Structure 1
Amino acid sequence: MVTARIYEQSAGAIVDQVRSISAITRSRWRFVWQNQILERRAMQHYNDWPNAGAFNALKPQTQKTKLEVSGYFPNYVAGTLHRAGPGGYRIPRAECLDGDFACDHWFDGFSYVYRFELVPGKDVCSEVHYSSRCLVDGVVDTAARTGRLEGLTFGQKRDLHDTFDKKMQPPPEMTSASDAKNVNLGVTIREPMLCEMPDIKGQRKVLVLTTDARIRKASTTVSDELTFDADTLEPLGVTRQVKMHPDLKGQLSGAHACHDHKTGEWFNYNLELGPKTIYRVFRANPNTSKVDILAEISDRELRPAYIHSMLLTENFVILCVFSSILKNGGMDMLWTRNIMDSLAPIDSSSKVTWLVVDRHGGGLVKKFTSPAFFSFNTTNAWEEANKDGTVDIVCELFEFKTHDILHRFYYKNLVSNESNTAAFNKAFNKNSRISKTSQLARYKLPDVHLPGSQSVNMSFQAAPSGEATRVLSMPGSETGDLQMCNPNFLLRKHRYVWAAQDSGKSSFMDALVKTDTQTQASVTWSVDKHTPTKPFFVPAPHAQAEDEGAVLSIVYNGVTDTSYLLCLDAATMQELGRAEVGAPVGIGFDGKHTPAAR
């Protein structure tokens, strides 16, 4: 008994000692980790243009706060600007000894939504309010605990042992999540269909957050979208395209649906991977919740691709299958569990395929090819009538010679004070400068028969073919990316384009630019060490000129480590006003401006 007690006491002392040592060790490691963070923040920023604070702006502002305004915001921009994108990428692990966890790719950063409410006044907006919210608390908690991003990602690198183990097992199903807080997506925002509305009580304004790769872990192999409260930004639920139509069961879709502001309809594609690649182009009407499959296109020649956006005219939907082909029919994603490592290298001798689909129900009407290129963002498309009753379709987009640009968007190459940023950008500027590898381009797809003038619902092989010809090209360093035109000019020819510009001054964007596609002249807004994001054009009421309006952009001030909402005169690109947030806002992607009720 005595021996047992002595042993018990000794064991207890040992446990206490271990706990004490463990606590000291944890404290030391926490100190080391905090020092590493401080050192990283203190590191020299690439080209002395700090942007790191906006790439890891993890503190949400869930309560609406009034912002300090200098200058003014015209009354016609009153309303709500929602912006989506990553709030940050680096978090401390749950166990101090594990250091921190970091997302590898910008497209995989932790999803946030930002809301700017511009309150109308007598002549100008009287107030600007701001709030933000992290939508993926579950993803953040899991990453902190396990050091992993679960499910399919865009570019997260996998542990070698994990990848090897997965290859030794049967391929997993690509499945989706059921909990809204576990769905890490957020590129752009749209209105919901009635069938997508979550089961909620009371009157709530609901919006839908979308992306390209929507597959997560749960029960079904379909693509996810997220509903959230437009006022509180609270995530409400997960919706799926298959809810809208049973045939929309594919795993991938475009982040950017095409929207016809006159009819209210929106158009997108759904890509089903498997032994047989199937592209389904569909039309959705939010007012009636009716969804129609306009074309189901499949052929051995038509391979699966990562396609971010589409094009729309008055009579046609244009799906351009870019040279971002997924290897082995997309099946590589089952093992790599990310899109980046599943992309095949671009073969310069290969062709891009343009699929022209009748948006009124006539199916595939014509296909075109052009030399290989890659694109994220389309601007606009329209029809030009020919004497013989056919039309030429003109499509504008921002193109890259290869998809190497995707490698630039790894955080280690993008954030101004990451250790690899200087070396990467030095090589990038020498070999792959955006002016050499990208351009704002227009393509003409000639002699397309209007709906009702020829056979409908043709197969890929039966559809007539043609050559898409580039009819305009302007260097990307001059025109910028993340572009848009005046939304009142969608589906018809536009002249001006507004974009975020990368002229090489920083590791990311450094200016906002207005481009005149007719004269090829450009006007820029730029402030040293200020990083702008995608611009939003808001037309002036009763405008007589195409460029009469305002441009809104969220800008990060690298000197003060704070962000502000900027308002520019769209014609002159001169500043009208700004609203100071007083904290950094994450550098994100797209969003939606909803005008105030008049």
Structure 2
Amino acid sequence: MRNFCLRKKREHCRHCARQWIARHTRFLILLSARSLVTSSFPTMAHVKSQGTVANNKQNNGFKDQHGLQCIAPLVRTAEETPEPIPTTVKGTIPSWIRGSLLRNGPGKFEFGNQHFNHWFDGMALMHRFEIMDGQVTYRSRFLRSDSYNLNSEKNRIMVSEFGTMSFPDPCKNLFQRFLSRFEMMKPTDNASVNFVKYKGDYYVSTETNFMHKVDPDNLESKEKVDWSKFIAVNGATAHPHFDPDGTAYNMGNSYGRKGALYNIISVPPEKDGNTDTLQGAKVLCSVIPTDKARPSYYHSFAMSENYVVIIEQSVKMDLFKIVTARLRNKNLSNGVYWDPKQETVFHLVNKHTGEVSPVKYHTTPLSTFHQINAFEEDGFLMMDLCGSDDGKAINTYLIQNLRKTGEALDEVYNSMGRAFPRRYVLPLNITNETPLQQNLNTRPNSSATAVCHSSEKVFCTSEDLHDEDLLEYGGLEFPQIYYSKYNTKPYRYFYGCGFRHLVGDSLIKMDLNNKKLKAWHQPGFYPSEPVFVPSPEAEEEDDGVILSVVLTPTEDNSTFLLVLDAKTFEEMGRAEVPVNIPYGFHGVFNAA
């Protein structure tokens, strides 16, 4: 009898839920403008067409891998090290390097007996490598975000993340748990992606409307900052760009009655007295997506001397699915998908006037996370980025996949597309007199094309920024340049991680003059994003060092901070760390 009653109650709850959704779908979408979709989520592209992976392999010529090493220890929960500890230096770390490498990434993957599903869901763990007089110390702290504090207090997952829905309170009865599905989700403030600097202050950020001010010396959490209290946006990327005068530019979505908007944000370079860091921030312009109910996901954007480039890629966000995720008992990631039939569109925005170019630059379906550089020359805008011809890669980064072994691990990796560096050449002077149906790219030695279809549409194809050698390294991601001197300007070198595994397994230096590479690789070790630090008397573009945190899943070996000569790409020294460090995302060098 009791089972019969429970079954009838469940049937009644399902019936109520269906009626509620039918009546309130429009209300939910409108309400998302204020609350639910405040997360501009890291993407997990749900690929509906497996053919794109095969096409990507055929087009780029990359090969499957077999016998991959298990990297589960790189994505396990770590203990924080709040007080600085010494490292063991081998080789020589140049004495002119004075400052700290600040890194950010996920470091805690469970609370109690509840586990996060996706790599991006892990709680932010901040790292600091202080380099002084040839010696290195290390410390780390978990960001004391509201998400971290609440999860810790209850010893279970209380705040939903990208790939994990928060669990209902086990103390509630069945009907109370049913009603909890109708509660609005609070956006996470788990700022685990990057360190950024606004007006001299350091923040850790993700892609929601929250970031946290932190002390760069001891990594203590200081203040939570909400973008939406200063400007009408529901989030901002973790990859702002900066002009030489310190003006910061960023990008964030907003959601309203008419759907989504892409917004370009500017933040002035200096504080005005004791005002908040984001005081004075403004929206330069708003751009309407091709599909307002399904805007594109973006992790970053491109910027040249005079333009910001919005990359409306083929990775899309279904706002209805995101808004109703809790009702449908689905993760937020369920609403992000790859549309192989949707062309990518580049929108150009004048940084100085906020004017949006009437010309839309189209290209084939593209998935991109990181831009390398962009600059203007001879009436063209060159935009360099790491891109893939399919959008499945991030769908792979479930924690259970990262912890697989043997053939199962090989299968996961080989199902992915790879990102390779490429250049698009965008002609800037399009008028009604521009010739149609012919390649407008007149730059010497460039295989990129730009064909004008009308005064408002140019179709572009890219050129590779590499030769066949890079195919052997599995493509390139986490690109970096000598940013302070060459961002928005013509340049020659960039650096990144090669990806013959689910995480970087090599460091790469690319030379754009000949598209040749230099590489650092040591079997069984996995380097993080390279950070370029120029030497004090730098005259050439590659005068300096590369810093990278190198991890290993083997207990017999140590994690270490690697120092490479940026010119020769040979190891100068390393500082071995005696504690476990999980694989992270991004960071910056804070000069002393």
**Alpha-carbon distance, 1:396 to partner:** 1.0
Which structure has the higher relative contact order (CA within 8 Å, separation 6+)? Answer: 2
Partner residue of 1:327 out of 291, 295, 318: 318
Greater mean alpha carbon deviation, residues 58-67 or residues 310-319:
58-67
Per the alignment, do residues 300 and 523 of structure 1 end up closer, same or farther by CA in structure 2, a change over 3 Å counting?
closer
Q: Which residue matches 1:426? A: 410
Shift of 1:206: 4.3
Alignment of 1:132-531 (within 5 A): 132-136=140-144, 139-140=147-148, 142-143=150-151, 148-156=156-164, 172-176=183-187, 183-193=189-199, 206-212=201-207, 214=208, 223-245=209-231, 247-248=232-233, 250=234, 252-260=235-243, 262-275=244-257, 276-288=259-271, 289-298=279-288, 301-302=291-292, 303-328=294-319, 330-333=322-325, 335=327, 338-346=331-339, 348-365=340-357, 366-385=359-378, 391-414=379-402, 418=403, 420-432=404-416, 434=417, 437-448=418-429, 464-474=456-466, 477=473, 479-487=475-483, 488-504=485-501, 507-531=502-526
2:267 and 2:480 mapped to 1: Cα distance? 23
Equivalent residues of 2:465, 2:515 under 8 A apart: no
Q: Report the AA paired with residue 525 of structure 2.
A: H
Amino acid at match of 2:388: F
2:393 aligned partner, one-letter code? I
Deviation at 1:430, TM superposition (A): 4.3
Deviation, structure 1 residue 244? 3.3
Q: What displacement does 1:404 show?
A: 1.0
Asked if 1:108 is matched to 2:121, the reply is yes
Query: Hey, what does 1:567 align to over in structure 2?
Result: 563
Q: Residue 372 and residue 298 in structure 1: after superposition, are their counterparts in 2 closer, same or farther (change >3 A)?
A: same
After superposition, what is the alpha-carbon deviation per residue over 1:203-229, rounded to whole angstroms, capped at 9, x for unaligned?
xx84111112x2xxxxxxxx1111111
Pairwise CA distance, 1:580: 1.4
Q: Tell me the distance in 2 between the aligned counterparts of 1:142 and 1:127.
A: 38
Q: Counterpart of 2:579? A: 583
Larger gyration radius, structure 1 or structure 2: 1
Deviation string 1:317-374 (CA, Å, 9 cap, x unpaired) is: 111111111114653556567442111332x221112111110123212432211111
Matched, 1:77 2:97: yes
CA deviation map 1:281-326 (0-9, x unaligned): 1111131453232111225645422210011111011111111111
Is the CA contact 2:383–2:424 (under 8 Å) kept in the aligned structure 1? Answer: yes
The AA in structure 2 aligned to 1:444 is: V
Mark the CA change 1:350 to 1:299 in structure 2 (over 3 Å): closer, same or farther. closer
Q: For residues 144 and 384 of structure 2, what CA distance do their matches in structure 1 show? A: 34
Change (3 A) 1:331 1:363: farther
Shift of 1:536: 0.4
Q: How does 1:116-127 map to 2 (within 5 A)?
A: 116-119=129-132, 125-127=133-135
Gaps of 5+ in 1: 1-45, 94-99, 120-124, 178-182, 194-204, 215-222, 386-390, 451-461
Instruction: Judge conservation of contact 1:307–1:376 (CA < 8 Å) in 2.
Output: yes
User: Which SS does the other structure have where 1:555 is aligned?
Assistant: strand
2:198 match: secondary structure? coil
Q: Is the 8 A contact 1:554 1:566 kept in 2?
A: yes
Matched-pair contact (CA < 8 Å) for 2:245–2:269 = no
- In structure 2, C-alpha distance between the alignment counterparts of 1:299 and 1:565, rounded to whole Å: 42
* Cα pair 1:392 1:445 within 8 Å, conserved: yes
Closer/same/farther in 2, CA of residues 334 and 233 from structure 1, 3 Å limit: same
**Who is 2:17 aligned against?**
none
Alignment check: 8 A CA contact 1:152 1:337 kept: no
Q: Is the 8 A contact 1:81 1:592 kept in 2?
A: yes
Distance 2:305 2:270 in 1: 19
Task: Identify the residue that residue 5 of structure 1 maps to in structure 2.
Answer: none
Contact 2:94 2:134 (8 Å CA) reproduced = no
SS at match of 2:265: strand
- 1:143 deviates by 4.3
Partner Cα distance (1:577, 1:291) in 2:
42
Measured on the aligned residues, the alpha-carbon RMSD in Å equals 3.1
**Could you report, residue by residue, the CA deviation over 1:431-485 in whole angstroms, capped at 9, with x for unpaired residues?**
43x4xx43211111212479xxxxxxxxxxx993322331335456454211112
1:53 aligns with 2:73: yes
Structure 2 CA distance for partners of 1:384 and 1:502, relative to 1, 3 Å: same
Q: CA deviation at 1:52?
A: 3.0
Q: Is the 8 A contact 1:511 1:527 kept in 2?
A: yes
Q: Tell me which residue corresponds to 2:440.
A: none
The answer on whether the counterparts of 1:101 and 1:144 sit within 8 Å (CA) in structure 2 is no
The letter for the 2-side match of 1:62 is P
Aligned counterparts of 2:363 and 2:175: Cα–Cα separation in 1 = 39
**Kept in 2: contact 1:270–1:281 (CA 8 A):** yes
Aligned equivalents of 1:164 and 1:473: distance in 2? 58
8 Å CA contact retained: 1:86, 1:107 = yes
Distance 1:309 1:423 in 2: 34
The structural deviation recorded for 1:111 is 0.8
Amino acid at match of 1:191: K
DSSP-derived class of the 2:338 partner: coil
Aligned residue in 2 for 1:130: 138
Shift of 1:555: 0.8
Provide the rounded CA distance (Å) in 1 between the counterparts of 2:381 and 2:249: 17
Cα distance change, pair 281–337 in 1 and its aligned pair in 2 (3 A): farther
After superposition, the Cα gap between the structure-2 partners of 1:271 and 1:74, relative to the gap in structure 1 and judged at 3 Å, is same
Cα displacement (A) at 1:408: 2.0
* Conserved? CA contact 2:160–2:166, under 8 Å: no
Task: State the distance in 2 between where 1:129 and 1:238 align.
Answer: 28
User: Within 1, Cα distance between the matches of 2:84 and 2:397?
Assistant: 31
- Report if aligned partners of 2:68, 2:406 keep a CA contact under 8 Å in 1: no
Distance 2:70 2:547 in 1: 22
Q: CA deviation at 1:376?
A: 1.0
- How many residue pairs get aligned? The number is 484
Deviates more, 1:513-522 or 1:109-118: 513-522
Q: Does structure 1 retain, via aligned residues, the 8 Å contact 2:165–2:332?
A: no
Amino-acid identity (%): 23
**Offset of 1:544 from its aligned partner?**
3.0
Q: Cα distance, 1:243 vs. partner?
A: 3.4
Q: Distance in 1 between matches of 2:204 and 2:474?
A: 31
- Please give the alpha-carbon distance, in whole angstroms, between the structure 2 residues aligned to 1:354 and 1:175: 32
- The letter of the residue matching 1:511 is S
| Structure 2 Cα separation of the partners of residues 166 and 352 of structure 1 | 41
